[in-house]
Structure formats: C-alpha cells, structure tokens
Structure 1
C-alpha cells in the first residue's frame, strides 16, 4: 500500500517539528459539547477519523434493525455536521468498524470480521472469527475491494482502532472477548511490507486496558484511552510526550473537561489548531456520541499568572531566526494582545548552559528582539513591547543534557503592570 510519508525511522517520524496547542492550560480552560447537526443519533457513533481539511468525519455506527456495525461519514457545513451516509462499497454483512482515513481520502484501513477474516477455535469447541484490519484504495471514483493486512498485523486476536502516522501503524489488539486486556501495538510499512507488530512498552501499555491511540499533528504526543487507576470514570484519554530517544513520558490524564464519569476515546486534533474531536459514552448502558473540544487560548493564563515560560518558541541553531513551527503559537499571542489592548508585555530570552556566557547573553537578547519584531509586523504596537535577555544566567535546571537544555532554552513572556 501507499503511505503519506516515507521516513527511515520511528524516532524521526515521531519528532517532526511543531507545537501542539493542547497544553494543560488550554485543555483545563477549554469547552466540550456534542457535535451540532445530525451526526449523533440515539445509537453508537464511535471510532472516528478526520479528513485533512477537517470537514469530513469517518466513523462507525450500528443502525436500528441491524445486528452489525457499518462505516459512515458525515460532512461539516458551517458549524453543523450532516446526517451520516453509509459507505456501502466498504461495508459487509458483518461488523465493519474503526475506520482510519488518509488525509486525501484515497486510502482507508478499518476493522472487520467479514468473510475471509482469521478463524480460530473457542474453548467451547465452536469456531470464532476475529476482527482483522483491512485496507482499501480509492481509485477510478470508487473504493476497491478491501484486502486484509498480512499476518504480521492480523492474528486470531482482535485488531481494531488503526491510526496511520507516516509509515507507522498504531492499532489495538486483545484476545477474543477480552477487551479489558487490550494493548496498543505498532507496525511499520517498510520495504513494501509490514513489519511484525509489537506492543508498546510501559508507561503506555499496562495491566489495564489501553486502546485507540492517535498522534498529535506535530508528531510529539501520543493520545490514547485507558481505564488505569487515577481517572475520572471508566476509559479516560491520556497524553504522553514522545521523547528524543523514542521513549514515552509518563501519561497525563487530560482532566475533567475532556474526561467524565463515563468513557472517552479517540482524541483527534483538528487542522484548524483550535479544536479536537473525541467519542464519549456519558451514561452506562447508553451509546457513544462524538464530541468537540474547543481549546482555550493558552495566553489567557498570562492574565492569571503574570508570566508564562515557553520552550516551544524555536530558533535556528546558534541563530535568532525564528523557525516557522513557532508562528502558530505566536499568532495566538497576537490574537490575545489584540483582544486585550491595554496589556503591555515583556519578552525575555534564555539560552541553555552550553557556549560562552557573553555570547549566550547577546543571543538571548537578539532572540527576544526577533519575537518583538514578529509581533510588531502582526500589528502590535512597539510601545506595548519590551525585551530583555538573560543568556544562561537563570537556568531552570543547572545541568547540561538534551532534556534540560530544551527547558533552559526558552522564551518568557511577562505582563507589565
């Protein structure tokens, strides 16, 4: 099959430059609501995937008078979503679930127990059928016949919830009938073939259920659902940073705005940089609906805390040229300042502990000035902005290593009285 991106290593694909806007502050101050329109019904809407432009949602649902689930899609018109349309070319007479659609809607991976899926013998002696992952390509105006992925991915166990990031496929696997034992697996499409799938290590997979993994649009965070202790209800959505060495930070619960006493899964960041979508089962015995999360502008915390420190404003190495990946977060600062015209801001540059202290001091001042100039070009008056540079004089951590270097090499923003 084709893939959107061809890269040589898992580490590289997970460390694409960028900044996720879904910070602790923007999540805790955000808002959640069911999607507007006709997309949600009195039955399940679950297992979502989003087109690249953010205007089409793919999902699965079990409609009335049907014993099986089918694949659907809904279109966004303004702020409202249309009634779901069944994708008949892909659906079978059995369960078709958890679609992943590529951004251009030319390829799809989904889970199904249709004819041709792996069979196995149950303890009772009866024959069971697993749900396997299937792939289809959109060509000549229609979806081609779905084909199962190879044994490196599909097994007699259940495979579902696929999410393709570049050449890497994340999915959920668990023994037949034992969703409580689900884990997140990964396989790479390499040399025109899928590699043997393996379960992610701790702290992602535990003895509890972990499922429905997705990756943030900047490639720096893994979202997934788990019922591990410490949550707010059943399945909660967690976020884990993908570190420079390819390992994962300890997962953090997204908190009570996103998570509830019910179940939540499938956290998808929207391309507008302001919203995300997820599925929620609000009440036991009820059905999943699709919800929208609207992030708060993280700069609002400046009002409360007087000061905010960001390691996500990136500059080229040994330079004060701002990298493009920093522009979205600075643009949100511009919006904040325009909405609060009486605020005056001080921009303070910091470096890590490497290099000559005098050079670091000058570089930090130049970087602060570069940020000020960017804000001015976006319409913020020079009279509202001042700068300073501390070089390597005020490190957060008095040590040198890749992790602490990134935190010391930061830009601070402070409201002036």
Structure 2
C-alpha cells in the first residue's frame, strides 16, 4: 500500500511540476499525452501506457512522452521498454534538468551490463542536474555508480589470466549444479543439484584421473529440498541446509543447518545443529573449517550489520557448538554478504558481497585472519574473475592452485542453468599460506587392526591446538591439513596405547605435497616404547627449549591418565663428540625431562632417567638428517 501511495504521489507531482507541452508537438499528441498522465494519476496504468504509445505514434520525438512512458514501464518492472523510452528521452533532450530521472535510470541500466563509461556519463549528468532532496536515494545510487565505474575501469586495465573450464559433462549432467565443496585430497566433491523443483546433495569422486558420475547421497536425501552444503577436509563431516522438515528432521526457522558424520561409507542420520547455530530466521550456505570444528554461514537474523551477514561458531573443548557471533566489520556491510568459504589453512576467508568496492552485483573477496583472531581488510579478487555479473560459491584447493565455482546463465526461455567450472588461480591472488595434507590410517602395530584415534595438530611455538580430527572407526583412515608458516607437533591418541609423536617443520616455504603416512600405535604393555619427536634442547646443552612444552605436557597428561605405569626416559645422541661427552649429555637431557615431569606432579618413583649416548642409533650416522634422527628422547613402559 505504501508503495502504491508513493507511486500515485509521484505521478501527481509530475503532473503539477513538469512542463507538459512542446510547441513542436501536435495538439492531438499533446491531448493523448495529457490524458495518459491523468489516467496514471487515477492509477489506470493500462490506459496511461496506451495513450502515451498513441501519442508517440503521432509524434515520435515527443521527449516528455518518452520520459513519462519510461517511468510507467519502470514502475511496472518492464525494464526493456523502460530503457528504450528513457534512452529516447535523453537523446532528444540531453542535459535538460527536467529529464534527470532518465539519466539515473540509464546509468543504472548500463552498469548492470558492465557498460561503465556509459554508466559514468549518465550518473554525472544526473548529479549535474542538481536534483532535489526528494531524489536522495537516486543521488546515493549515482554516487555509488560513479565509484564503481571508476574502480572497474581502472581494474580492467590490469586483467589477470583467467581461463575457466567446465567440469566434464559427466559431472554437469543436471540442469543446475552449484555451491561445490571439496575434500582436502581433491578426491571428493559435494554439490547441490536441482532436478525440477527438487534439490539434493550429490557426491562425485575423482578416480584414475577423471571425475566420475555424480550420485545422490541417499542418507541425507528426503522428499524435501536439501540445499547448500559443506564438507570437512577429511570428508567425514557434512553440514547442509534444509528449509522444510518432517517428524525425523525438525526445522525451527525459515531454513536450518543440519550436520551428519560419515563412518566407513555411511552417513549418520542428520541432526539439527541446535539453537547456538539456528534461529527462527534464515540460516544457510555453511562453510566448515578443515577439521570440522568451525563453521561460517549466512543468516538474516537480527543483531547483524546488513540483511544477510556472515556468522560463525566454533566447538568448545567438549565438542559442543558455541553461540554464533557476527563477523562484524570490515567483512559484513549494510548490503548482503553470501557464500563464505574458509580455506583449509583456517586463515583465509573467501566470500561474495554487494557491499564492498567492486564491479557491481555480487563480487568475490578474500580476507586474512590476523593475530588474535581479528580480520584484515577484504580484497576484491579482481578482473576478470569478477565482472558485472554475480559471482558466488567459490572454493579453493588446499594447495591454493585451483578454484571451483558455479556459473549461472539463462537460456532462450529465461530458465536458469548452473554449471560447475574449474580454473587455475592466477599468481596475483594466490593465498599467502597454502596447505598440505597428511593422510593414511591408524592401526595396532601388533595385530594390524585399524583404530579410531584422536589426532591433534599443535603449533609448538604458540602451544595452540590448530586442528583435531579422528580416524575412521571402520577403516582407520584420517586426513589432516598442515599449513605453511609454522612448526607442528602431531599427536595420535588412543586409550590403551602409547601416544604417537610426530614433528613437521613448515616454517620455511616448500612445494605443496600430499604426504601418505600410516601410523602404528604401540599397546601400553611392558617394553613398549615411543620416540618423543617434539622435545628440543639448546645446541650442545640439556636446557629445554620453550617449544618443547607441547610434548612435555602431553607426556604429563599420559602419566596422569595411566597412574599405574612406570616409565623410563631414555636420552640418545649422535656420534659427534667423544663417547664420554655424549653419554653425559644424554643422561642430562633425560634428567631434564624427568625433572619437568616431577615438577608437574608426576611421582619420582614412577620415573627413571637413563642416558644411552650414541650406543643405540636408529639409523646410520652418515648425514645431518640421520644424525638429527639419532638425537632423540624416548619413553618406555617398565
């Protein structure tokens, strides 16, 4: 009703304030024009349009008739006819202040087609007409068009290499497939597919160098729609959107997010993620972190900055999702943000927005997480990845080299077609910290039985747990992501077994790779032993380095969880130096570890320190790398 009243008042204002007649226009055309305006004032728009068309049939150069007819068509959302008549009006009376509405509409039409120079010209024409305060929305629009056009014209002078290729027809077999999500090993893609009015979640595998045919994930499917989804790096956790529920799948808001877990080849019954994630509003477009312990998503709930904002939640130490928080400025804007994607490195967020500097419509951006969890300034991905079309639903591989996205077009019947594409990421926008993956299986070293174990990745400089995953209970498989720029301790834990300690130094740049690593675990029995690969000393000294704290605290926890066992801490050296000096140093280093444990509350009676010097090498002392392996601390069950 308010819109109708505003429209009527606008028509009356036009009738009262604008020059109605031109000396060069015939009286018959002028009469039809007048009757058309009066009909519009009475809200008889069909008659108004008919009279204006008749007037133009008599007087094709009747600028006022073109202008007012364009306004009628534009108000009725007939953009094609509105544009035709606004253009005719502007061509007939350029720089005429009475035609200011034509200029702003033409600026808007041109920028939505990427015609930035034309849009710039008409937006400036509009502002130069000195429009009154009642045009405040159009004034703001003109300024936005000028800002966007200036940015786009400059950005297009520096195009990047961008050569997207559609995925094979075997993948793009539906009319619409969109919002892809990818496992870290690049072997499984999940996407939303539409057949008719029905949406389902599809899986497609990469095998023998080719993408296979997609299949519906039956455990997640229902007779209702299953929408945008995200999968964890290891392919074991899935979050997706559902907007209509049933007795087994309750939906409490406009759309809710659901979670499912995969064991072996089977997905669990989806569960609503609960009130810390979902509200009575609309929640959709989830993006899982690599380890599945953080989620970014879109919601139009209250308390945000715009209508659609990016929100996030993370799991607490007990594995429960914490209350969601708005990412705030500078990421969210008063306009819409959509389709977030958190890279496997956990530090680079990609998203689409209408509110940041760009090319018009939805553009793709990235933003880096800084120290203490704050976010930097979003950066436009540039031309031609972005242009005047809408760009959404981008995912980037863990190594940062390839991107996947869905591209939408309309066919000759104006029906939407959505196709999945892949492209090589241009060097100019490669992520700063790419990621490798470590994958394999965890098993019992004695029996070969596969194990479901907890796997923790810790930054040993900050002692911060970066990622936690579990190996699969049915096949023992695991995938974990290592991101450049840090030194990591990887600990594999299973009740009844000695924990495994592995070390990865990723502080220096290196070529991305996939590491295959099966992890055997030793049962907690007398004689079992394991190397503590993340204990470090000052060179030639027994002074512990601070980055040893992660490993030492892990050992403390092990002793607290296994209160009945006694252990030997064994110190070992390489063959550099005298036998006596090496024996003494190895004893002192073993003693330093025992001292740390006792100071942390472990009883001295449960601990023995023995230095073995260079007498028990694990490899020949014939290279720097091998000597480093021989310099070690072990613990053994007594």
TM bucket (normalised to shorter chain) is 0.5 to 0.7
Question: Once the two structures are superposed, what CA deviation does each residue of 1:143-174 show, in whole Å capped at 9, x if it has no partner?
Answer: 22111011111111111111222421111112
Match of 1:57 among 189, 198, 208: 189
Q: Which residue in 2 is equivalent to 1:220?
A: 347
Residue 182 of structure 1, aligned match among 308, 313, 318: 308
- Are 1:249 and 2:350 counterparts? no
- Alignment match, 2:234: 104
Give the match for residue 92 of structure 1.
222
Equivalent runs, 1:6-155 vs 2, <5 Å: 28-41=160-173, 43-64=175-196, 67-77=197-207, 80-113=210-243, 114-115=245-246, 116-119=249-252, 130-139=254-263, 141-155=265-279
* Change beyond 3 A, Cα 1:282–1:235: farther
The verdict on how the C-alpha distance between 1:77 and 1:256 changes in structure 2, with shifts beyond 3 A counting, is farther
Partner of 1:365: none
Answer yes or no: is the 8 Å Cα contact 1:27–1:296 preserved in 2.
no
Once the two structures are superposed, residues 267-288 of structure 1 have per-residue CA deviations (whole angstroms, 9 ceiling, x without a partner) of: 2221354211122224585333
Deviations 1:314-355 (A, max 9, x none): 699xxxxx9635433699xxxxxxxxxxxxxxxxxxxxxxxx
Aligned equivalents of 1:244, 1:235: Cα separation in 2? 29
Equivalences for residues 331-350 of structure 1 within 5 A? none
Q: Summarize the Cα distance change of 1:293–1:27 in structure 2 as closer, same or farther, 3 Å threshold.
A: farther
* Counterpart for residue 30 of structure 2: none
Three-state SS of the structure 1 residue aligned to 2:164 is: strand
- 2:509 counterpart SS class: helix
Q: Deviations over 1:235-278 (max 9, x none)?
A: 21101121113222221111123223322222222135421112
Q: Which residue of 2 aligns with 1:324?
A: 506
- After superposition, give the CA deviation of every residue in 1:77-104 in whole Å (9 maximum; x if it has no partner): 4664333211111111111011212222
Q: Using the TM superposition, give the Cα deviation of residue 117 of structure 1 relative to its aligned residue in structure 2, in angstroms.
A: 3.3
Q: Which residue of 1 aligns with 2:332?
A: 205
**Paired residue for 1:291?**
421
Q: How far, CA to CA, are the matches of 1:140 and 1:227 in structure 2?
A: 41
SS at match of 1:155: coil
Are 1:172 and 2:298 an aligned pair? yes
Point out the more displaced range, 259-268 or 198-207: 259-268
* The one of 359, 366, 386 aligned to 1:239: 366
State the match for 2:448 in structure 1.
none
Q: Give the aligned partner of residue 277 of structure 1.
A: 404
TM-aligned CA deviation for residue 208 of structure 1: 0.8
- What is the TM-score normalised by the length of structure 1? 0.59
| Offset at residue 229 of structure 1 (A) | 5.0
Q: For the Cα contact (< 8 Å) 2:343–2:398, is it kept in 1?
A: no
Instruction: Answer with 1 or 2: which has the greater Rg.
Output: 2
For structure 1, which runs of at least 5 residues remain unmatched after alignment?
Answer: 1-25, 120-128, 301-311, 317-321, 332-417
Evaluate the alpha carbon distance shift between residue 186 and residue 269 of structure 1 in structure 2; reply closer, same or farther with a 3 A threshold. Answer: same
CA 211–325 in structure 1, closer or farther in 2 if over 3 Å, else same:
farther
Is the contact between residue 98 and residue 161 of structure 1 (CA under 8 Å) also seen in structure 2? yes
Give aligned pairs, total: 276
Q: Is the 8 A contact 2:484 2:506 kept in 1?
A: no
State the Cα RMSD in Å.
3.3
Q: 2:167 touches 2:421 (CA, 8 Å); kept in 1?
A: yes
Instruction: Give the structure-2-normalised TM-score.
Output: 0.40
Structure 2 residue runs without a partner (length 5+) = 1-157, 431-482, 488-503, 514-638
Q: 2:286 aligns with which of 162, 173, 183?
A: 162
Once residues 163 and 50 of structure 1 are traced to their aligned partners in structure 2, the CA distance between those partners, rounded to angstroms, is 11
- More off after superposition, 77-86 vs 52-61: 77-86
Q: Distance in 2 between matches of 1:313 and 1:172?
A: 29
Report the Cα distance in structure 1 between the residues aligned to 2:194 and 2:233, rounded to whole angstroms. Answer: 25
Residues 308-323 of structure 1 correspond to what in structure 2 (within 5 A)?
Answer: none
> Partner of 1:266: helix, strand, or coil?
coil
Q: Match of 1:89, SS?
A: helix
More strand by share: 1
Note the C-alpha offset of 1:230.
3.3
C-alpha contact (below 8 Å) 2:174/2:194 kept by paired residues: no
Compute the displacement of 1:217 (Å).
2.7
Q: 8 Å contact 1:281–1:287 — kept in the other structure?
A: yes
